[in-house]
Each structure stands twice: as structure tokens, then as C-alpha cells.
Amino acid sequence: MRSQALIFLGAPGAGKGTQAREVSKYYSIPQISTGDILRQAVRNGTPLGLAAKAKMEAGELVPDEVVCGIVEQRISQPDCLNGLILDGFPRTLPQAECVGDLLLAKGKGKPLVIDIKVDPEVLFKRLTGRRTCSLCGEIYNIYFNPPRVEGFCDKDGGKLFQRADDSEEVIRQRMTAYETETSPLIVYYTSKGLLHVVEGDRRPELITKDLIEFLGKA
């Protein structure tokens, strides 16, 4: 993989986290999910968490300057020296401009952007069925990828939890935020020749295989 930074774009539930996790393991580079960082801050009750909580609960985007600040700090860590994956960032045009500048300033060049495409009807069931391990973050789905023992992680036995923003009402708001604020990034990155689209309505392992194959050549 030539590029130092990978960006995973895609609607809520498209499989950004699921795929970023696999690619991160394969290349031994960190998966940086702004959603995960924000949820951790909310759980810890930090000033960042307090600032983000209401927006996240409403399914709205957290202000650009807040998430750009998080990413700037995170990509300066030594584990990002050999590459990194941005999962769920950028999500607005100002964030895209910001990350472009940050990557250049860190000597990482232009990012490679992966858009995971999935039909909107499929997304809803994926999100309401999602369960996540409280210990290792492994992602399950009670409809499509259930754990062997209900409520517990196959890998470490950790208790599975349902995300607070995976309720029907909040999912609808997240989809709207995606349509209005994030989907313009598809045109933005296409016009720069940086976008690669993958068909996301297939078994997760097939998508991972295609991605690794593509990244090997890219």
C-alpha cells in the first residue's frame, strides 16, 4: 500500500468499523474512529465528552473544530508513523480540507479514500441489530453475525452492549446528517481521483478480501 493514510467513508452501518478493524490488523496500523473516541470521552465524562454528548444522542454531527482537534492530536502519536486508518472522519467538507492539510503537514501525502456502498434499507437492520463487545470492541449483529453465546463476545467473553444512538429515531437523524453533510465528500474525493468504491452488501469477509487485494496494488 503506497498511501500512508486510509479514509473509510460510508453511511451509518455501512461497515466502516468492521472493515477498518480487519485492515488495521492486516497492516498493523491504528484504526482511528472519531465515533469510538467520542463515545469513550462520553463514558469518562471528560470535557470533550460533555461537549459531544447531546449532539451524539441527537444523531447530529459534533462541531468540526472539535473532531479536527481530536484527529490532529491522535495522528501525532508514534503508532501512526507507518500509516493510519481514519474511520468516520472526515464527515464534512471543512473536515476534509482540514485532514488534507494535516496529512500534508505530517508528511503523509494524499489519503486513499474507501467508500463502502450499501442500500439504505439494509442499513437500518444492521444498526438496530448491532452489538459491540465492551472489552475488545468486536462488532456483532444479532441478525447477520450473532455471537455463539447471546450477549457475550466470542473472543474474550466480554459483555455485549447496544449503542445509545442505535435507536430508530436517532438512526433516522444520523442518516439525514450523512445525506446532507457527508455524502458530498464522494464527489469531492472523486474529483481528486482519490476515491475507491467497494460494494458493501456482501459477506464481510469477501469485502475484506477485495479491500486487501485492492490496497496491495494501490
The residue whose Cβ lies closest to Mg ion is 17
To the query of whether residue 148 is one of the catalytic residues in this protein, the response is no
To the query of whether residue 21 is one of the catalytic residues in this protein, the response is no
Q: Is residue 189 a contact residue for ligand AP5 (CB under 6 A)? A: no
Chain centroid to CA 175? 14
Task: Scan residues 58-77 and list those touching ligand AP5 (CB under 6 A).
Answer: 59-62, 67
| H helix count then E strand count, the chain | 9, 8
Quote the least distance from Cβ 26 to ligand AP5, whole Å.
Answer: 16
- The Cα 131–Cα 134 span in angstroms is 9
Q: Is residue 174 a contact residue for ligand AP5 (CB under 6 A)? A: yes
Sheet of 5-10: strand order equals 31-33, 84-87, 5-10, 112-117, 195-199
- The Cα 30–Cα 23 span in angstroms is 9
Q: Is residue 17 a contact residue for Mg ion (CB under 5 A)? A: yes
- Give the number of other Cβ atoms within 10 Å of residue 155's Cβ: 12
Task: Scan residues 25-54 and list those touching ligand AP5 (CB under 6 A).
Answer: 34-35, 38
Of residues 2 and 44, the one with the C-beta less far from ligand AP5: 44
In 3D space, the residue among 88, 80, 204, 56 whose CA is nearest the CA of residue 139 turns out to be 204
SS3 2: coil
Catalytic residue (choose from 39, 91, 126, 131)? 91
Task: Scan residues 89-108 and list those touching ligand AP5 (CB under 6 A).
Answer: 89, 91, 95
Binding site for ligand AP5 (CB under 6 A): 10, 12-18, 34-35, 38, 55-56, 59-62, 67, 88-89, 91, 95, 126-127, 129-130, 139-141, 144-145, 165, 174, 200, 202, 204, 207
Catalytic residues, which ones? 16, 91, 130, 163, 174
